[in-house]
Structure 1
Amino acid sequence: MSDFRPGAPAAKGLLDKVADEDTDITSSRRGGGGAGIPGGAPAPRRPFRRYFRETGWRHLIGIVVGIFAIFPLLYVLSASFNPNGTLLTANGLFQRVSFDSYVSLFTSAQHPYGAWFLNTLIIGLITAAGTVFLGALAAYSFSRMRFTGRRFGLTTLLVVQMFPQLLAVVAIFLLMVAIGDIFPAIGLNSQIGLIMVYLGGALGVNTYLMYGFFNTVPSSIDEAAKIDGAGHARIFFTIILRLVAPILAVVGLLSFIGTSSEFVLASVILIDPDKQTLAVGLYKFISDEFSKNWSVFAAGAVLAAILPVALFLSLQRYIVGGLTAGSVK
């Protein structure tokens, strides 16, 4: 059946010409003309000086940095297996291996490591979730709404974060004592009170960080949703939160790591050993003058690192997505 469409013969001739050229190129490559192509001659190796000048020095720096980062981890892991309980005899890595330190963590009546681990997990997760939620609400308000005092509020959040929370330890302690006289459940020596202190101190920098990411989301999405009859609450929970998931993961991860490793406020507010966190509890293994056990301390530190590492691995794809998506929005 013949083709009567205008320009069909010309198009057919052009396709035949391109096919012939591809056939000639493929034949010449198979004959050995293309270096480094399957079936052709291998590409010549670069001289060592040229390789080192172009890319080799980068590999060398990467190896040095990797060793510098991995050695402290290996040293702590080796110290946790050291049965002598000191750090000086851990210079020879893994010369003696014993699991007595790990057994002592969960068998000591004076040091309830299991309770510390659970307390850190609960306080860290609740604080991270609360920080993400409250920070996202504040960031959405500053990003999408226009109200009196908006710029002053953003500037105040940034200025307040310039002063470390350590400066307010005495004021926080007195405030928690006064609150405990009225509401003991959220006062001194309560985990809920510690969580509220963490939430109040973390909202500033996280709100400002989320505010910048919220601004990268086009406002036309909100306008289209408003035309369909959606309010601010529906836009925030059903649309915006899904688009800013990478920054939520980053803020949650940073909040959990900062909370689980915080020592000063946790040691001031939490008094009972059963309510303390890992950072406060592990210090007891090396705080006594005549009973310092660095091996048990290292074992507890190794197990404590499981929490942030597991959270980082679970949120890694969101973090990588935030780095790439945020650069093109």
Structure 2
Amino acid sequence: MKTPLYREAITHSWQLVWKHKMLWLFGLFAAFLGQMGLMDLLTKVSFASSKYTYPSWVSWPQVMQDLVSGMGFFSLSIDGWTWLVWLILILLGLCITTVVVAVVSQGALIDACAQSAKDKGLPSVSQAWHVGVKHFWPLFVLNLLKKIVMAGLAGAVGYSVLNFVLQSSGWGFLLFLVLFLLSVLVGLVLSFLVVYAAGYVVIEKYNFKEAVEAAWMLFIEHWLVSIEVGLLVLFLNILLGIVVFLGFWILFLPVAVVWFISVFTANSALWISGLLAGILIFLVFVVWVGSIFSAFVTSIWTYLFMKMHKHGIKSRLLHWSGHHRI
């Protein structure tokens, strides 16, 4: 087994993503599937366990009923129903297109990163895109299963929160604690399995069953390494949050200047224009940074997956402690 390659993976991935800016577009669409690793799990479980979430579980049926009755669905004319059906079809088409492009982009990113790791050069974007198209269905099923299981885990945690809030008993808290820990454990393993299975599908050309089985074996052999990489990426997410926060304040400065000018000139139109421009610029900044980071994280996981699969990687903790086996 090789010594930990985390710094090497970060350096290689950053150089690849920064030099090959076409990967940013893949990262933008792949981000719709959620980030590889722990972040998607932590976001869903923490949201479901939030004390601000449980009222929505209670009021959701009533909200839907009010929405349907308030929009007057049952009193629509023939033309109204026609426009509604067309609107639903257009939105459905946009959703399907987004999902297809997102899944293909994920496969293209994995292949591009694998090309770079093998050849130490810039990958072929067109080849990567065709590889993503070729492996669409296995990747789609992997992501779909992940979303279904994650939604189920979030639902279980949300139910336990609702039960605890309504009953406020020791058993309610115990149920919440057990379901929360179980959801984190299952989601943790699932997150790593999807990453590795996607790597086996795209890079090693395994079919779906073979990829899942190989991903499980790889996780068993590298479970501690997987957690270390997950925590490393989580730390990078924290740095990303700091960058976005600083970017917000930097981009807010022109808006503040416009606000002061609008106050002194009593020009409300100038203030509204400056505010809208500031929001638009900040949104563009967030999308830009998020696209780069999505491609960056995918590259890190792909690079380390290839090293785990080909040579094996020792845990950083065990390396520090002087051991050589898990």
Q: Shorter chain as normaliser: what TM range?
A: under 0.3
Larger radius of gyration between Structure 1 and Structure 2: 1
Higher RCO structure (Cα 8 Å, ≥6 apart): 2
TM-score (norm 1): 0.24
Q: TM-score, normalised by structure 2?
A: 0.25
Larger helix percent: 2
